[in-house]
Chain A
Amino acid sequence: MNSSSHSFGKSVFELLSSMRFAISLLSILAVASIIGTVLKQAEPYNNYVIQFGPFWFEAYEKLGLYDVYHAAWFLVILTFLVASTSVCIYRNAPNFAREMKSFREHVSEQSLNAFKHKHEATTTQTPEALAASAQRYLEGQGYKVKNLPREEGVLLAARAGSWNRVGYFLAHSAIVLICIGGLMDGNLIFKVQQLLGTKKIETRDIPQSQVPAISRLSPSNPSFRGSVQIPEGSSADVVFLNVADGYLVQDLPFTVALKQFRIEHYTTGQPKNFESDIELFDRSGKKIRSATIAVNHPLIQDGIAIYQASFADGGTRLNLRGWNLFAPTASSFPIEGTVHQNATLTSAAGDSTLEFIDFRPFNIEDIGGDAAARGNAMSVLGGSPVGDKKHLRNVGPSFQYKLRDSRGQAREFSNYMLPLELDGRWYMMSGVRDAPNEAFRYLRMPLDADGNLESFMRLRGALLDPALRPEIAANFAHQALPQNAWGTEIEGKLTHSAEQVLALFAQGGFQPLGKFIEEKVPAAEREKAAGTYLRILELAGFEALKIADRQANLPPPKADDATGWLVRDTLNSVSDMFVYGAPIYLQLMNYDEVKASGLQLTRSPGKKVVYFGSLLLTLGVFFMLFVRERRVWLRIKPGHALLAMSSAKHTIDFEKEFTQHAQALDSLTK
């Protein structure tokens, strides 16, 4: 019994210290690491559910694949690596230490003769004289030499490069140290607490102060890495640690207050620097210090490092104008919003919630630019390297919000404050998407000659107003027909068709029109019919604009190109409105910006250990790889000398050195 457990322990020891096991570990670690890079880590769990479906989502969650590097099995691999390396050091230590000191002076002449690298020479010198000059030579080559009297002469035993072995100890202990340092900074303590049930992840979206003690970590927690967003003029005394699909609240031993957050820009508009002016207060409210932190310039307080990590909106107040997209008039209403807060929107279809998510004071966009400048061979071969060819431009502020209907369905919108020039004309842009992983689709609303949305809104209202339809259609038919057709049956027919086209368009834009054509018109004539209907719409649109302008007591629109485009763009825009997904458009009129700084706070006691380990690792690797361990023996008898040389690693350098020593011996013996 005893002997079998003894041999079990021994074979575990053997396994751990075996090279094959070590290499397997390195490979497994590499493969495990790959998994974590292929699968995006620490995403919101919902994204995973969408990506994998409920079954695989759960399977992967059980395997810890959403946070591979903190999964239990990953830690087990690391532990094995530490164990294996330690055992390996333990096993080699006595041998290597002995080797480092030993001159292998007991080597027999016979075994020297059996060396692959040996060289013989005859000499007329006395053994002592030759030994003295050879010793000088070897010492000059960096060898430590021992002179041993032997029968009928001398044995010189020499070695060089013992630091190679020191390197082994340094590098391999370094691996152990680095892993230990890493574990110290990991979340092992929390994992244990979680297993014991004394700590629990918080998954609810509740105010920080209401998070119960079971999800809070005390200020004395030896290691953490968390983040917090502080709006200007506010302060925080906690940070949040993201864990799995929830978070933990880490209480801090001090309070951080943000006075100001600044972004500096390059002339091209790209951000150049982020800075926060912060003040620290102790728990009693006494000010400890004030400081400015920036990217790459953290501040350290009580062993906690404070980093500039990101920035966000801190609750900007937005002054908005809401446009009713489906109202028959150009009517708007004022509305106020604050980023990170909600507002209620009452309409005939029921209440919906406006959730203001974000505000961006600037947006750097790649505005296509002329294709000719791209890929211009001359500019590549010797042109200016000034990086403005990308047509990056600041297109001004934008804000983002979600509109959630009474059933809880939400769409996300992103509206620019300033108009954008596209194809030489100016538009207000509003982006919409159904899910966060989609790209925004844009509704572009044309501006009129005054740079306002009003003309578009008036025309849109008129097109959607059933009461105006007979008049628009009649005016259109009147304009479209030559004088001799006025009052005839043809005019009546045309008026009727126009009315029908307008009614279809008002139902859902181009789509119902297309469907109508498909149902009523034979395939061969559809294209022509579509062209005709479009033409009718455009001309009728112009009439509608005339009527709308008249009703607004404005002079009639000019019959020019600009008006033509306004009508065409409005038709497109109105058609898009039916899939825009909101009955209102929110136009940003002005804003009062409040910025927030994203800070990261860490306490990592393992860092020093890791750095020390890294130093040892560097030294160790250099010693191991670039210091070669060599041994030389010179057995001198009267009239005869035998040189033998050995090294654990045979390289060409070794061969060269051997040749050099052999030649040296020849010249010494001469």
Chain B
Amino acid sequence: MVGAVSLFAVSQYHGDLARMDEAFFLKYLISSQAAIMWMCALFGLATLTYWAGLLARSEFTMKTGSALTWSAVALGFIGLMVRWYESYLIGTDVGHIPVSNLYEVFVLFCLITAMLYLYYEARYQTRQMGAFVLLVISAAVGFILWYALDRDAQGIQPLVPALKSWWMKLHVPANFIGYGSFSISAMLGAAYLLAKRGILASRLPKLEVIDDIMYKSIAIGFAFFTIATILGAMWAAEAWGGYWSWDPKETWALIVWLNYAAWLHIRLVKGLRGPMLAWWALGGLIVTTFAFLGVNMFLSGLHSYGTL
């Protein structure tokens, strides 16, 4: 589906970027920027729908929420695919995979988080968690909108020399599977804590289910984050001359990693369950967000590719 629409979009360009403002489909639907904005809108709608469904206990409404999320994912993907193509239209030397700056990776974050969530939704046959997970995605969407409207960040920029590497294609997506998973686990932690206190408890899945998804999510996130960090180290070895430079971004990746390693140990080795781990998962979101965004905002280093 996504592939077909992307191909259609690409065919509409006839190899000319200016067609973006002429061809109807491109202008309003599937030029990269239009598609990404549709993705944002659909994620917003999906959030509202999930909440409505949760509060009204309406399975049908929540199904609609899922459908909206699926469409948002599809459009987001189309947006990135088309953007990839557009970057080559700007100049063959400018063309690159759209995971190279803060704007692009935020779109990627929304997509990956949504897809991971949809996987759990299907696997556990429960849609109630959507209301919570979509909150984090909506926050990211909010950031995308602000970043585009206020900071004009949606432009495709050519790559700085250090980023022109094959490693980028692996390192960045792996990282975002990690970030996405950790975010999901944090939102589940929040749901767990509310349910434990009796808030929304009758509308949410059983505590064990929430707890189980939270664990799964952290496990998957941890595994991918491990790989991402290792790939990053290998890339750094090639680009900067050392696999580890204690650059702020690297160091914060380590901190995130240590945090979840400790979480897994407490749960698996000490066998601890319950609110304490849910709080911890929720707190993990702060650490993760800082590693993802805070480092770019407050600390400078080799990784300063997306500044605010």
**A 21-71 contacts with B by CB, 8 A:** 22-23, 26-27, 29-30, 33-34, 36-38, 40-41, 68-69
- Stretch in B43-51, B65-73, B234-242 with 4+ CB within 8 Å of A: B234-242
A387 with B262, Cβ < 8 A, contacts A37-B248, A296-B239, A617-B230 known? no
- For residue B164, CB closer than 8 A to chain A, the reply is yes
> A422 near B: Cβ within 8 Å?
no
Within 8 A of A (CB), among B18-45: 20-21, 27-28, 31-34, 37
Our pick among A37, A266, A305 for the contact of B241 (Cβ within 8 Å) is A305
Q: Which single member of B31, B150, B233 contacts A375 (CB below 8 Å)?
A: B150
A383 touches B33 (CB 8 A): yes
Say yes or no: B226 contacts A617, CB within 8 Å: yes
Q: Which of B37, B160, B242, B261 meets A382, CB within 8 Å?
A: B37
- The answer on a CB contact under 8 Å between B86 and A626 is no
Measured between C-beta atoms, what is the minimum distance from A167 to chain B in Å?
A: 11
A30 touches B152 (CB 8 A): no
| B12 nearest CB across to chain A (Å) | 13
Interchain CB contact under 8 A, A386 and B17: yes
Residue B141 interfacial (CB < 8 Å):
no
Distance in Å from the Cβ of A566 to the closest Cβ of chain B? Answer: 36
206-232 of chain B: CB within 8 A of chain A? 208-209, 212, 215-216, 219-220, 222-223, 226-227, 230
- Among the listed stretches B130-138, B192-200, B264-272, which one makes contact with chain A, having 4 or more residues with CB under 8 Å of it? B264-272
User: Is A30 in contact with B258, judged by CB distance below 8 angstroms?
Assistant: yes
* B149 neighbours in A (Cβ, 8 Å): 375, 377, 380
Do B161 and A381 have beta carbons less than 8 Å apart?
A: no
A283 on interface, CB distance cutoff 8 Å: no
| Contact indicator A37/B252 (Cβ below 8 Å) | yes
The 8 A CB mask of B147-163 against A (1 = contact, 0 = none) is 01110101111111110
Q: Please tell me if the beta carbons of B37 and A381 are within 8 angstroms of each other in the complex.
A: yes
Q: Interface residues of B toward A: which range?
A: 35 or more
| Interface contact B155-A387, CB-CB below 8 Å | yes
Say yes or no: is B61 at the interface (Cβ < 8 Å to chain A). no
Tell me the bound Cα distance from A273 to B246 in angstroms: 25
Whether B212 and A651, one on each chain, are in contact in the complex, defined by CB atoms closer than 8 angstroms, is yes
Docked-complex contact A389 and B161, CB < 8 angstroms: no
- Please, which residue of chain B has its CB at the minimum distance from the CB of A226? B241
Chain B residue at minimal CB-CB distance from A604: B242
Asked if B164 and A295 sit within 8 Å, CB to CB, the answer is yes
Assess the A37–B299 pair: CB atoms within 8 A: yes
Chain A residues whose C-beta falls within 8 Å of the C-beta of B248 in the assembled complex = 37
Instruction: Give every chain A residue within 8 A of B21 (Cβ-Cβ).
Output: 383-384
Q: From B20, which residue of chain A is reached at the shortest CB distance?
A: A384
The answer on a CB contact under 8 Å between B241 and A626 is no
B243 interfacial by beta-carbon distance below 8 Å? yes
Our pick among B152, B259, B295 for the contact of A37 (Cβ within 8 Å) is B295
Distance (whole angstroms) from the CB of B144 to the closest CB of chain A: 10
Known contacts A295-B162, A626-B223, A385 near B156 by CB under 8 Å: yes
Chain B, residues 252-263, CB within 8 Å of chain A (1/0): the string is 101100110110
Residues of A within 8 A of B155 (CB): 385-390
Complex Cα distance, B150 from A249, in Å, reads 48
Interface membership of A124, Cβ < 8 A: no
Contacts known (A295-B162, A295-B164); A621 close to B254, Cβ less than 8 A: no
Chain A residues whose CB sits within 8 angstroms of the CB of B258 once the complex forms: 26-27, 29-30, 33
- A486 on the B face (CB < 8 A): no
Contact B152–A618 (Cβ < 8 Å): no
A602 close to chain B: CB less than 8 A: yes
Contact with A along B2-20 (1 / 0, CB 8 A): 0000000000000001001
Separation of A268 and B160 alpha carbons in the complex (Å): 12
Question: In the complex, which residue of chain A has the Cβ closest to the Cβ of B229?
Answer: A614
Give the Cβ gap from B6 to chain A, nearest Cβ, in Å: 15
Q: Counting CB contacts under 8 A, is A625 at the interface? A: yes
- A34-B255, A309-B241, A652-B212 in contact; A387/B157 too (CB < 8 A)? yes
Selecting from B89-97, B111-119, B183-191, the interface stretch reads B89-97
In whole angstroms, how far apart are the Cα atoms of A626 and B219 in the complex? 8
Confirm or deny: A298 has a beta carbon within 8 angstroms of a beta carbon on chain B. Answer: yes
B161 and A309 contact, CB distance less than 8 A? no
Contact B37 A266 (CB under 8 A): no
In the complex, what residues of B have CB within 8 A of residue A303's CB? Answer: none
Within 8 A of B (CB), among A356-404: 374-375, 377, 380-390
Which residues of A in the span 199-231 have a Cβ within 8 Å of any Cβ on B? 225
Partner of B222, one of A374, A384, A602, A625: A625
Residue of B nearest to A88 (CB): B269
- Report if B58 contacts A (CB, 8 A): no
Q: In the complex, are the beta carbons of B91 and A266 less than 8 A apart?
A: yes
A385–B212 CA distance with the chains assembled, in angstroms: 42
The answer on a CB contact under 8 Å between B162 and A651 is no
CB<8 Å pairs between A and B, sample of 20? A19-B265, A26-B261, A26-B265, A29-B258, A33-B252, A34-B255, A225-B242, A272-B161, A274-B161, A298-B238, A375-B152, A380-B152, A385-B32, A385-B33, A385-B87, A602-B242, A604-B242, A610-B233, A617-B226, A618-B223
- Add 12 more A-B contacts to A37-B248, A69-B246, A272-B159 (CB < 8 A): A19-B269, A22-B265, A23-B266, A27-B258, A295-B164, A297-B238, A386-B90, A386-B155, A388-B155, A604-B243, A610-B244, A611-B243
Residues of B within 8 A of A (CB): 17, 20-21, 27-28, 31-34, 37, 83, 86-87, 90-91, 93-94, 124, 148-150, 152, 154-162, 164-165, 208-209, 212, 215-216, 219-220, 222-223, 226-227, 230, 233-234, 237-244, 246, 248, 251-252, 254-255, 258-259, 261-262, 264-266, 268-270, 295, 299-300
